[in-house]
Amino acid sequence: MAQQHKRISGMSGNEIYFLERMGYRPGQLCVGNSVVALGIARGIGAGLSNLGGGEIAEITNLVHDGRTRAFDRMMGEAQQYGGIGLAGVSFDVINHGGNLEFITVASTIHPAEGESKDGLRFSTSADVAKLFCQVDAGFRPIRFVFGNVAYSIGLGGAVAGGFKSLARGEVAEYTQIFDHTRHLALTRITDEAKRCGANAVVGIETTISPLLGAQEMIMVGTASHHPAVEAFDLKPVTSDMTNEEMWNMVNVGFLPIRLVMGVSVYSLGLKGGLFSALQTLGGGEVAGLTEILYEAREKALARIEADAERCGADEVIGVKTHIYDLGGGLIEFMAIGTAVRKVAGIKTRSDALPPQAVLQDRDTFIDATDTMSPTINIASTSAASARKLQGGPLAMVVTVFFILFYIFMRFARH
């Protein structure tokens, strides 16, 4: 039985302002956790999967189950508090000497005085200010949802990609692995939304972080319902627009259709790498690197555009681009955005958002000793971590070793 911390809430003053506007009262801070270990059997299976490349199902499932248990325990605590909703649901992960603790945190929402408490009606990844934007745009929150995938290039992909990376151009092996696994996370978050009867997932946030010797990509958002989406062929619709952006788009008559991603991994090539190194020493424009980044960008954007055309979108907005130096002359370019469609008769409930909706709450406690952040946002992942995690240098080293070994054997025979 959770202790009744009636006076403790994780909500800011800005959030409580919006609670008042929606007729709610602030409730208690809720926490759920689960500690998991990979174990010997799963560890062996994960190691073999890591060699093959692609998704590492053992880690994906372990992490998904741990997060789900933590979330369910937090939901149980909120029910004990008599809340009707949970806002600001977030995940955290802490490594306790090889055992991973998954923590879920949120704040309960209570009805106004005198209204019935008929159990939890919804949970959302949005804080209350963002929740106001969702509701005012016509989206009824149902449940916090997430989709994750743990993946690795693997030895096979690294060797094959390493050989391909000796020549200039796109390295299909790397592109396919990254593109496929990242879309797996999107598929899983939409599957969760379908199971709870939603026709939309809004406010999706994407994080990539190192985990148990692999990478994990996780998407979190709010499974919701919008009456106008029922007419769409594609359900549920998905969006990584901020909730404020989505309100603005609905206000001018657009609805989100699909979160779209495009990935391209390019190699400068052995010859191009040497020329670029010489140009770097001489100063001025590095033509080889300029061209390869341009080509990778064009490939990724073309894939987003094709995805948008397939789902009948009018535009792709809020496109964010990310470039990673994978090492060994390999460059990854990723683009992500939301495809939208103009819909007749769509409008927000209010003509304008209150100024408080666009205010950003600031942290007033900064822990400068925390140098091992458990999660890495996709927008701030460093080139160093990308090189460490994605194995570009390893692929090049392995490739060069095999080439030298092959040349040595040829000469040895003669």
Contact present, 328 and 392 (Cβ < 8 Å): yes
pLDDT tens for each residue of 170-187: 888 788 877 887 899 999
Closest CA to 396 of 161, 179, 70, 91: 161
pLDDT tens for each residue of 70-81: 999 999 999 888
Respond yes or no on whether the N-terminal peptide bond of residue 393 is cis (omega within 30° of 0).
no
Which tokens sit at 404? 């030298």
Task: For residues 54 and 71, give the distance between their C-alpha atoms in angstroms, rounded to a whole number.
Answer: 27
Task: For residues 202 and 204, give the distance between their C-alpha atoms in angstroms, rounded to a whole number.
Answer: 6
How high is the pLDDT of residue 274?
47
Task: For residues 344 and 243, give the distance between their C-alpha atoms in angstroms, rounded to a whole number.
Answer: 21
pLDDT tens for each residue of 41-88: 555 555 545 555 578 888 899 999 999 999 999 999 998 888 899 999
What is the pLDDT of the chain when averaged over all its residues? Answer: 79
pLDDT tens for each residue of 284-336: 555 666 777 788 889 999 999 999 999 889 999 999 988 877 666 677 788 99
In 3-state terms, what secondary structure has residue 1?
coil
pLDDT tens for each residue of 253-262: 999 999 999 9
How high is the pLDDT of residue 68?
96
Which tokens sit at 44? 């062996």
- State the residue for tokens 């029910």: 79
How high is the pLDDT of residue 322?
84
Distance of CA 137 to the CA centre of its chain: 23
Distance of CA 381 to the CA centre of its chain: 12
pLDDT tens for each residue of 377-405: 333 433 444 444 444 444 444 444 555 66
How high is the pLDDT of residue 49?
53
**DSSP annotation of 377:** B
